[in-house]
Chain A
Amino acid sequence: MRYVTVFILSLIFWLLLTFKITVPNIIVGSVASLICALIFTRFFIHNIYKLIQPHRYFWFLIYLVVFIWECIKANFDVAYRVLHPAMPIRPGIVKVKTTLKSELARTLLANSITMTPGTISVDIIGDYLYIHWIYVRSEDPEVYTSMITGAFEKYIKKIIE
């Protein structure tokens, strides 16, 4: 069942990329999707019935809005730091605990952190994310944990777990 899902998703992706519906195109796409499904299914999510639960998509849309807003904020933040004559930076690497368990959720969280203002994820070891922060605002672990992951963790938990 998981193989079939990966096959269908890759075929849709192929049709979007090539954008013409002819018989030779669909045959080539099917072969390519079959190869993808055989190789990459073991990296796909384990419980595929999560894909057809509508409330996850609802939370995903809200997450997307929050994410785009944070992303735009991040750009103005970098622009401000770069163009300011005195360059107000105070960089450092901080350690942040995450409560997310599945690998996909952690990947999504790390990617979101990379695109938010002033932070970029360096590594995950155990339950801890190591974040490079361009302006360390606080020395207290609880305060900066909620500042960095607080915006996303609850949405990602609702989307994936």
Chain B
Amino acid sequence: MNNMISLIFITIGILFNLLGCIGIIRLPDTYNRLQAATKCVTLGCCSILIGVCFHFGFSDAGVKALVAIPILFFTSTVAAHALIRGTYHFGIKLGKKSVKDDYKDAVK
């Protein structure tokens, strides 16, 4: 039973990771690509970690997988924020489809 639950979680995680990778290829500019990369890959990895936790049960590997989830959440969101801010300050323009840019006035 535990094995099956863990397999289901790991499959969902790999599926979301795949979607994130497709997003990185298909979306037009850096900012939109970061959106796909952050959201899908974070939840995909968390899902895989939950699957690992179910697989090992309450042992050292399982608890470590659970502890890794909040760390992954905080680090990936902060990393995405730093990357997107760095991209803007480096001078890369928003894509052609963009409709609004309030940040331009604030940076100057």
Evaluate contact between B27 and A93: CB separation under 8 angstroms.
no
Chain B residues, Cβ within 8 Å of A91: 29, 31-32, 94-95, 97-99
* Interface mask (B86-108 → A, CB under 8 Å = 1, otherwise 0): 00100000110111111110100
Number of interface residues of A (CB under 8 A): 39
Instruction: Among A20, A79, A94, A132, point to the contact of B84 (Cβ < 8 A).
Output: A132
Chain A residues, Cβ within 8 Å of B39: 71, 74-75, 78, 115
Interface residues in A76-132 by Cβ distance below 8 A to B read 78-79, 81-83, 87, 89-95, 110-111, 114-115, 118, 120-123, 125, 128, 130, 132
Evaluate contact between A122 and B63: CB separation under 8 angstroms.
no
Asked, given contacts A82-B23, A111-B77, whether A20 binds B94 with beta carbons under 8 Å apart, the answer is no
Chain B's nearest CB lies how many Å from the CB of A141?
9
Interface residues in B1-54 by Cβ distance below 8 A to A read 16, 19-20, 22-23, 26-29, 31-32, 34-36, 38-40, 42-43
Q: Which residues of chain A have a CB within 8 Å of any CB of chain B?
A: 13, 16-20, 71-72, 74-75, 78-79, 81-83, 87, 89-95, 110-111, 114-115, 118, 120-123, 125, 128, 130, 132, 134, 136, 139
